[in-house]
Amino acid sequence: MDIVGRRNWYFLLSLAIILPGIISMAFFGFRLGIDFAGGDQYNLAFTQPVQASVVQKEMDTFNVEATVQQAGSSGVLITTKPLSSAQETTIRADLAQKFPLDPSRSSYAQVGPTIARELVVGAGGLIAIASILIVAYLSIRFNYKFAICAILALLHDVFIVTGIYSILGKVFNLPLGEINTLFVTAVLTVIGFSVHDTIVIFDRIRENLRQASRLTFEQNVNLSIIQSLARSVNTSMTVVFVLVALFLISPQNIKGFTLALLIGIISGTYSSIFNASPLLVVWRRLDPR
């Protein structure tokens, strides 16, 4: 199997998925959850089926920029602009009176504008700091070329997940594609997993390079990928199984979270096999020292 030789095809496949995502992010941005945009969100459960359109009509009377989405047959998700304490109490009392509300299965969240701004800055900063420290560690253990290739693979995964979510949330207008704090957690998890995966293959390359052999660098990298393929696939498969199960049974409010993890883990496995290591070869060709 020659993975390194066909590297351009694999790079192309990655680009084909990333580019639409980047275009979508640049032109449409994200569908922001209240964590980032600020606002109030009611996740209401009813004891009988209720249509979202009926609740929407009721919410429109309050004039609070409410959007109501169906969440299961007897549940709705209401998002509004930031409400005052008095408004919130009035709306809640009104809904409880007009619909068969089940408070013990409902949830509510409110995020003020200052907190939202901090979270946006914080999330970007966390990814940057973590990346820099990982580059530093990998530069010590391997060398800076390995470190930068690992980070490129990591950024690939971040762009795939965020790009797909921009498309889901803005182009298809699905609530699933909402960006919130849980989504940030998912991206951070993906980062951890992606680097983890890449390092395992890099370790193999490091080991094979130390042994005297007649193989070229390119052949060596390809051999290392093949040697660790069973492990890469096996480990990812077990995690993917768990995530698919989680996705299927998870309630509406965390489905987006499990889906982001699922996409990210698959992307992470792909990028460590088909991008990170072949990139080493490309770099070596450009700069054969």
Partner 1 sequence: MRVDRRLLALIAVVAVIALFLDGFAYVYRLATNQPLTGPIRGTPTLSIPFLGFEQQIYVHKGLDLQGGTHLELEITNVRSGITAPAARDIAVAIIERRVNSSGYAESVVRPEGQNRIIVELPGVNLEQAKQILGKTSYLTIWKWVPGTPDAATLQELNPKDAQKYPGYKPEPTGIDGSMITNASRSTDTNTNLPDVAISFNSRGSDLFCAFTRDRVTHPQGSPENKLAIFIDKDLVEDANVISEICGGSGIITGGFTAASAQAMAIQLNSGALPGTVTLASATEVGATLGASTVKLSLLAGAFGLTIVILFMLLYYRLPGVVASIALLLYAAIVLAIFKLFGITLTLAGLTGFILSVGMAVDANVLIFERVKEELRAGRTLGAAMEAGVHRAWPAIRDSNISTLITCFVLYFFGAPLIKGFAITLAIGVGVSMFSAVVTTQQFLQILAGLRPARRLAFYGVQAPKAA
Residues that bind partner 1 (CB under 8 A): 45, 85, 88-89, 92, 102-112, 114-115, 118-119, 122, 125-126, 129-130, 133-134, 137-138, 141, 181-182, 184-186, 188-189, 191-193, 195-197, 199-200, 203-204, 206-207, 227-228, 230-231, 234-235, 237-239, 241-242, 245-246, 249-251, 254, 257, 261
Nearer to partner 1, 23 or 200 (CB): 200
| CB-nearer residue toward partner 1: 20 or 88 | 88
Q: Are 21 and 289 contacting, i.e. CB atoms less than 8 angstroms apart?
A: no
Contact by Cβ (8 Å): 24, 170:
yes
CB of 86 to partner 1, least distance (A): 11
Report the 10 Å Cβ neighbour count for 261: 25
CB nearer to partner 1: give 126 or 282: 126
User: Considering the complex, what minimum distance in angstroms separates the CB of residue 230 from partner 1?
Assistant: 6
CB of 282 to partner 1, least distance (A): 23
- β-pair type (67-70, 39-45): unpaired
- Given a contact cutoff of 8 angstroms between Cβ atoms, the answer to whether 216 and 281 are in contact is no
Buried b (16+ CB within 10 A) or exposed e, 198-207: bbebbebbee
Q: Are 285 and 10 in contact (CB under 8 A)?
A: no
Minimum CB distance to partner 1 smaller for 243 or for 279:
243
Q: End-to-end CA distance of the chain: give it in Å, rounded.
A: 27
CB of 218 to partner 1, least distance (A): 22
